[in-house]
Structure 1
Amino acid sequence: MTPAVKPVPGGDQNDQSESLNQTLKRLLFYLTRYRFRLALAIIFMIGFSVTMGILPALMGYATNIIAGHGSLQDLKQVLIYFIIDGVALWICGHLAQRLLSKISQQALYTLRTDLFNHMQALSLSFFDRQPIGELMSRVSNDTDVIDQFFSNGIQQVLQSVTTIIVLTIVMLWINPVLTLLVYLAVLGMLAISSTIARISGPAFERMQELLGELNGYAEERLAGQKVTIAYNQQNGTTVGFSKLSGIVARTGGRAQFVALTSMPAATIMSNLQMILLLIIGGAMVMEGHIQLGELVAFLGLSSSISSPLSQIFSVYSQIISAAAGAARVFRILDEQPVVADLPVAKPMPPVDGDVKFDAVDFAYIPGRTVLKNNTFRALPGQVFGLCGPTGAGKSTIINILTRYYDIQSGSITIDGVRIDEVGQDSLRIQIAQVLQEPFLFSGTILENLRYARGDATDEECIAAAKQAGAYEFIMAQPEGFDTFLNDGGSNLSQGQRQMLTIARAMVSQPRLLILDEATSNVDTRTEKLIQSGLLSLQQGKTSFIIAHRLSTIRKSDCILVINQGEIVERGTHDDLMGAQGFYYNLYMSQFRGKLSSITGVA
């Protein structure tokens, strides 16, 4: 299966140029936050540029002395000035670079932190439509190219711009006519850079987008490596990756080729500038309009101004690439949470567990209703079972109860308080969830248990592990509760991971409990152990159990039977079996399937 590649986005070049400028301004804002240190760095840069401009002037002065306009003592004096100027040049350059380096790293830290923190604040719907690999590309690839710009490019650009301004002032002071000659070449360089920007800018942005797709493809395939091997799709996966990687390489090659043409162009214009100065300046010396030293000084100054221009061109591709990466980062920073607290939202009071759905309608995509007119009430301490075919809307009911998504109409209240009128955090902190796929973080077992409540003591975590039936297998690990778990808890069995998630839920001391097919992926023996822990967790709490195995919800106070987003039946197990309706058919189909697997008779 080869990856699909999105078409290259079009657009007007003026719009793209304006967008590029806006992105760079926004990116540079992260540097201008540190105004005092940046101003100090610029002062040292000006000092560096002034001392660099003095060197050609001293060369011109020395030339005039050698040409017969001075003495040996004057030459010695010039040598002293050279030494003093060289020391000042090194000090100013070192201090400017050191300050800018610190500012750049601080700016990058702020940008990365803003990006990650903002992603944490976004609603679940954002992650539903963004592949994890693509998001990882934003956090890694895109911030890496910005890092290169901040760490190297911005220093070279600022120093070069400062040098050009200072040296231009010095040249105008010495001879305006020769300065005009120098800037004929400079204007040629600017025209070339403008053309290159219009062509290479979109190419670099496309390359960053393709890198995100490549990263997403690799992340998905590596995560599903077991399936790849099981279906013998290694070759297909390799071909798909190679195809996408080749597209990235070709796009990057085109972008780099266009951007790198700036260096040869800068060299040609620099040489042209030097030729013009030698011919016209030489004629002016021969006619007595200027002294030879003046021309020598100008040749040195023009060379000094060509060098920073060349540096700007040399980092041009870096600037365009950083702008492309920044544009992708800013698109995430501009995302707004779909589920947001009201300005007057109050904290959710401690919950007793009286949950009420009143005529609730919900759609993930407007116009495609998933839940229709759902109405029910769960009293404190009751256990509600949710069952129905795959895709009926069971998990969706849980998603809107925890307010991962906002409903279209109706109301959801807990203890008479509308959940859309309280802070999301204060609501969710009182709800514990045990999901079908247990997820653990890399770290110790104790750290994973404490993840539910940061201020939980070691004793509380150990007590929760005992209550969940996890204590014995934890103590059998090499370092007990300090045993380090790999990413996802891969060094534990499925059942052990699930028992830890139950213990983690206990540590959170929840008021409401949600069990989303918590035992569907484990064997019967492990299920009994987990069920024991779940019963302990459910005590005194309003609980919602999503069940595929209907045997797990037989003892529920009420079972909601959901089909195509509607509650089609409700009642106890005995009531529903007696009605011989939708639930009865579901239960009997499972029972017959289990019986046939034992007897061998279909």
Structure 2
Amino acid sequence: MSENTNKIMAKNSRNAGRQVGMGFGPRMGGEKARDFKGTMKKLAQYLSEYKLSILTVLIFAIASAGFSIVGPKILGKATTKLFEGVMAKIAGTGNVDFTAIGKIMITLIGLYLLSSLFGYIQGWIMSGVSMKVSYRFRKDISEKINRMPFRYFDNTNQGEVLSRVTNDVDTLSQTLNQSLGQIITSVTTVIGVLIMMFTISWQMTLVALAIIPISMILILMIVKNSQKYFKQQQDYLGNVNGHVEEMYGGHLVMKAFNGEKKSIEKFDGLNDKLYGSAWKSQFLTSIMMPLMNFVGNLGYVGVSILGGYLAAKRTIEVGDIQAFIQYVRQFTQPIAQIANISNILQQTAASAERVFEFLAEEEEIPETSDPIKLDHVEGHVEFRNVHFGYKPDQMIIHNFSVSIKPGQKVAIVGPTGAGKTTIVKLLMRFYDVNEGAILIDGHDIREFSRNDLRSMFGMVLQDTWVYNASIMENIRYGRLDATDEEVIAAAKAAYVDSFVHTLPNGYDMILNEEATNVSQGQKQLITIARAILANPRILILDEATSSVDTRTEIRIQKAMNNLMRNRTSFIIAHRLSTIRDADLILVMNQGNIVEQGTHEELLRKGGFYAKLYTSQFEVVTAS
């Protein structure tokens, strides 16, 4: 990947991180949340476990808002006392009663302190609830992933799944942490302030209320337009994250095929869509407060004119006007907050909908209620009239039948797309057959628990898998309770020991995240050592020596021959010279077994296998 591509993607990743911090999450599409009410109802049910904490937050938020609401009324009394004292002093009939004003101010300070204390407590409790909810969501998603069929991950972008675990859950967490208490406080404030305003002057209250229809019209217009852009933003961020992850993961392949330009073009297209939706959503959100302030100022003008008129008529006191103006500000501010929160709730609904959609995805076929557990696995494997297709209307395995005796070494060969690896996936029950059955020791594999079934197998695949840990721990993954001595013995059998001492820290060397600090062949040797350590009854070797040199391959074949002795083994190979000593060779083409027998028998037939075998030695000459 070019340096320019790296810079662009790194910049976008930082921007995505900042957006997540501000409460944005990944989302795709352009429509509104399909079921806002239903999603919020599900979220409320999800939060019911924390109803006591949320009830406490509700009480403390109302109390905090209540103490804050009373403040201006009491402050107005202090203003009236001061005004009356000044007027009395001017008239020579008295002085300012600073003692009474002092008592009022002490009471006011106490109320504001209680309001702050209650606000702090409700915020602290809500932070705890939001973290617990985030933990529970991520835990549920993590457990759900383990119950999902492989088919889902074959058809879903990895970045999209990751976005649901990170960005969408972060959005929900921030909404709970920041917005729930604010909603309660704002609603309480609006109701409380309205009551206090009516106690001062119903005429001025009606003037102040005249701004509400204007505010509501503006709010509805903004929310209607911003909702779809928030949902788009959630989506496009997920697409951008997925593309970035794929490009970094396939870095070498993309660079080898000169895909930088195409990658940048795709990234720019996705990023432009993200920019457009993010800009529109943020612009509409940002104009909310200025518009509310403008409408609020119109209310101030009307209240000030009417208040001055009523004060001149001695209908209300000067302190009441000062208190009423404060209440007008307190009244318009929570309305604006509620309007702003309504945007956040739309965004929250989009994120919650995605999370709940994922949690509601179809899972693997449930385990049998009474699974079989074999004390000893012989290794007799039978495919009985198996039909399978990744899509129900596109079968790729047709009436596949074969019986394999315990301890036999079975090679599966055939051209690309013949169904060789699919057979292995069915055997491990990564997918369930559409028709027919697969049996081990006479029992349908669906009668075993998946854990027990897969523990019978050891696998070495063409696509090696190691993780960010030491070489010792990567080998120990085959049997987690193995001792260091047993790990080293398996490493010696797989010829890992022959190169590991040339590496820094030997067995304790940490493989980096991409495992680029060892060669592809060395990674394959590590996975072979892992299979040897697992000591399974049935082995699956899918091009297990495809990434090692010829000399190492000979060594591995010797180790494998020892490992496969008295074990049922399935070997998938393209290099037919490596499976000449197999007990049985199954020749597949287009999902069917077209031939079977030993190497010599199949060559004597001169059929499909013979053509495959001899084609490896053909020399293509220029005409």
TM-score (ref. length: structure 2) = 0.87
Residue 573 of structure 2 aligns with which residue?
A: 547
Q: For residue 355 of structure 2, what is the amino acid of its counterpart?
A: V
Change (3 A) 1:332 1:8: closer
Conserved 8 A contact 1:339-1:404: no
CA contact (8 A) 2:381 2:441 kept: yes
Provide the C-alpha distance between the structure 1 equivalents of 2:228 and 2:138, rounded to a whole number of angstroms. Answer: 24
Of residues 131, 143, 166, the one that matches 1:117 is 143
Query: How far apart in 1 are the matches of 2:334 and 2:529?
Result: 63
Equivalent pair of 2:29/2:236 in contact (CA under 8 Å): no
- Cα 1:547–1:18 change in 2 (3 A) is closer
The match for 1:55 is 71
Match 1:44 to one of 42, 53, 60: 60
Residue 209 of structure 1 and its aligned partner are, at CA, apart by 1.5
Q: Cα 1:81–1:253, aligned 2, differ >3 Å: closer, same or farther?
A: same
Alpha carbons of structure 1 residues 408 and 55: separation in structure 2 relative to 1, 3 Å:
same
Choose from 320, 340, 352 the match for 1:326: 352
Structure 1 SS opposite 2:545 = coil
Q: Is the 8 A contact 2:133 2:173 kept in 1?
A: no
The percentage of aligned residue pairs carrying the same residue is 36
> What secondary structure, in the 3-state scheme, does the structure 2 residue paired with 1:489 have?
coil
For structure 1, which segment, 411-420 or 449-458, has the greater mean C-alpha deviation from structure 2 after superposition? 449-458
Please point out which of 196, 215, 227 is paired with 1:189: 215
Does 103-112 or 279-288 show the bigger shift?
A: 279-288
Q: Aligned AA for 2:296? A: S
Equivalent residue letter for 1:363: G
- Rounded Cα–Cα distance in structure 1 between residues aligned with 2:78 and 2:440: 88
Report the equivalent of 2:134.
Answer: 108
Work out whether residues 160 and 309 of structure 1, in 8 Å CA contact, stay in contact via their aligned partners in 2: yes
Given that residues 29 and 231 in structure 2 are in contact (C-alpha distance below 8 angstroms), is that contact kept between their aligned partners in structure 1?
no
Inter-CA distance 342–169: structure 2 relative to 1 (3 Å threshold)? farther
| Bigger shift: residues 342-351 or 102-111 | 342-351
Question: Structure 2 vs 1, CA of residues 349 and 162 (structure 1 numbering), >3 Å: closer, same or farther?
Answer: farther
C-alpha deviation, 1:550, in angstroms: 1.0
- Which of 257, 270, 283 lines up with 1:244 in the alignment? 270
Do the aligned partners of residues 21 and 187 (structure 1) sit closer, same or farther apart at CA in structure 2, a change above 3 Å counting?
Answer: farther
1:197–1:419 Cα change, 3 Å: farther
Counterpart pick for 1:412 among 422, 426, 438 = 438
Equivalent of 1:399 in 405, 419, 425? 425
Letter in 1 for 2:82: I
1:583 maps to which residue?
609
CA contact (8 A) 2:437 2:444 kept: yes
| Residue 21 of structure 1 pairs with residue 4 of structure 2 | no
Secondary structure of 1:484's counterpart equals coil
Task: State the match for 1:534 in structure 2.
Answer: 560
- One-letter code of the match for 1:247? K
The 8 Å contact of residues 459 and 541 in structure 2, kept in 1 or not, is answered as yes
Q: Is the 8 A contact 2:138 2:169 kept in 1?
A: yes
Taking a change above 3 Å as real, the CA distance of residues 316 and 528 of structure 1, as seen in their structure-2 partners, is farther
Partner in structure 1 of residue 19 of structure 2: none
Q: 1:129 to 1:84 in 2, by over 3 A?
A: same
1:519 to 542, 545, 558: 545
Change in CA separation of 1:451 and 1:17 when aligned onto 2, cut-off 3 Å: closer
Tell me the secondary structure at the aligned position of residue 426 of structure 1.
helix
Partner of 2:595: 569
Does the CA-based 8 Å contact 2:159-2:245 persist in structure 1? Answer: yes
1:455 aligns with 2:481: yes
* Letter of the 2:76 counterpart: G
1:242-321 matches, cutoff 5 A:
242-321=268-347
Report how far residue 284 of structure 1 moved: 4.3
SS in 2 for 1:443: coil
Give RMSD over aligned pairs.
Answer: 2.8
Q: Secondary structure at the match of 1:485?
A: coil
Q: Deviations over 1:332-373 (max 9, x none)?
A: 222121443244445566422111111110011011111000
The answer to which of 276-285 and 492-501 deviates more is 276-285
**Structure 2: which amino acid aligns with 1:302?**
V
Q: After the TM superposition, which of the residue ranges 25-34 and 440-449 deviates more from structure 2?
A: 25-34
**1:86 aligned to 2:112?**
yes
Q: C-alpha distance in 2, partners of 1:22/1:282?
A: 50
Residue 147 of structure 1 and its aligned partner are, at CA, apart by 4.2
- 2:469 equivalent in structure 1: 443
Residue 21 (structure 2) aligns with: none
CA contact (8 A) 1:439 1:489 kept: no
The Cα of 1:496 is off from its aligned counterpart by 1.2
For residues 117 and 471 of structure 1, the distance between their equivalents in structure 2, rounded to whole angstroms, comes to 37
Shift of 1:569: 0.7
CA deviation vs aligned residue, 1:199-229 (integer Å, no higher than 9, x gap): 2222211222212222222222222322333
Change (3 A) 1:155 1:539: farther
Q: Which amino acid aligns with 2:510?
A: F
Aligned to 1:72: 98
Give the Å deviation of 1:162. Answer: 3.8
Shift of 1:540: 2.4
Is the contact between residue 347 and residue 426 of structure 1 (CA under 8 Å) also seen in structure 2? yes
Amino acid at match of 1:91: L
Give the deviation of 1:190 after TM superposition.
3.7
The structural deviation recorded for 1:404 is: 0.8
Q: CA offset at residue 98 of structure 1?
A: 1.7
Letter in 2 for 1:448: N
Measured after TM superposition, the shift of residue 20 of structure 1 is 2.7
Q: Which amino acid aligns with 1:40?
A: T
After TM superposition, the structure 1 = structure 2 runs for residues 374-393 of structure 1, keeping only pairs within 5 Å, are: 374-393=400-419
Distance 1:457 1:510, change over 3 A: same
Question: Deviations 1:161-208 (Å, cap 9, x if unpaired)?
Answer: 343344445445656665555444345434433333332222211222
Q: Does structure 1 conserve the Cα–Cα contact (< 8 Å) formed by 2:602 and 2:609? A: yes
Structure 1 distance, partners of 2:374, 2:208, is 70
- Alignment-derived partner of residue 364 in structure 1: 390
Partner SS state of residue 376, structure 1 = strand
CA distance in 2, matches of 1:211, 1:310: 28
Cα–Cα, structure 1 residues 174 and 533, in superposed 2: closer, same or farther, change >3 Å? Answer: farther
Q: Alpha carbons of 1:115 and 1:319: their partners in 2 closer, same or farther (altered >3 Å)?
A: same
Deviations 1:216-246 (A, max 9, x none): 2222222232233333343343233223212
3-state SS of paired residue (1:487): coil
Q: CA deviation at 1:551?
A: 1.6
Amino acid at match of 1:557: D
Partner of 2:9 in structure 1? none
Residue in 2 that maps onto 1:149:
175
For residues 314 and 423 of structure 2, the distance between their equivalents in structure 1, rounded to whole angstroms, comes to 92
Change (3 A) 1:285 1:527: same
The TM-score normalised by the length of structure 1 is 0.90
**Equivalent residues of 1:430, 1:509 under 8 A apart:** no
> Against the structure 1 CA distance between its residues 130 and 18, is the aligned structure 2 distance closer, same or farther, given a 3 Å change threshold?
closer
* Contact 2:389 2:395 (8 Å CA) reproduced: yes
Partners of 2:28 and 2:238 within 8 A in 1: no
**2:50 equivalent to 1:34:** yes
Aligned to 1:135: 161
Deviations 1:446-498 (A, max 9, x none): 22122233333323322222222212322332222211011242211112111
Structure 1 window deviating more from structure 2 (342-351 vs 201-210): it is 342-351
SS at 2:521's partner residue? helix
Amino acid in structure 1 at the alignment position of 2:613: Y
> Amino acid of the residue matched to residue 258 of structure 1?
L
Q: Which blocks of at least 5 consecutive residues in structure 1 are unaligned?
A: none
Cα distance in 2 between the residues matched to 1:116 and 1:542: 34
Deviation string, structure 1 residues 136-167 (Cα, Å, up to 9, x no partner)? 33333333433443443344334333433444
- Given that residues 478 and 530 in structure 2 are in contact (C-alpha distance below 8 angstroms), is that contact kept between their aligned partners in structure 1? yes
Question: 267-276 vs 481-490, which deviates more?
Answer: 267-276
Give me the whole-angstrom Cα distance separating, in 2, the residues matched to 1:525 and 1:63: 96
Decide which moves more: 400-409 or 527-536: 527-536
1:152-167 to 2 correspondences below 5 Å: 152-167=178-193
Query: Does the Cα contact within 8 Å between 2:377 and 2:456 map onto a contact in 1?
Result: yes
Q: SS at the partner of 2:35? A: helix
Alignment of 1:328-343 (within 5 A): 328-343=354-369
SS in 1 for 2:145: helix
In structure 2, the CA distance between the partners of 1:184 and 1:420, relative to structure 1 (3 Å rule), is farther
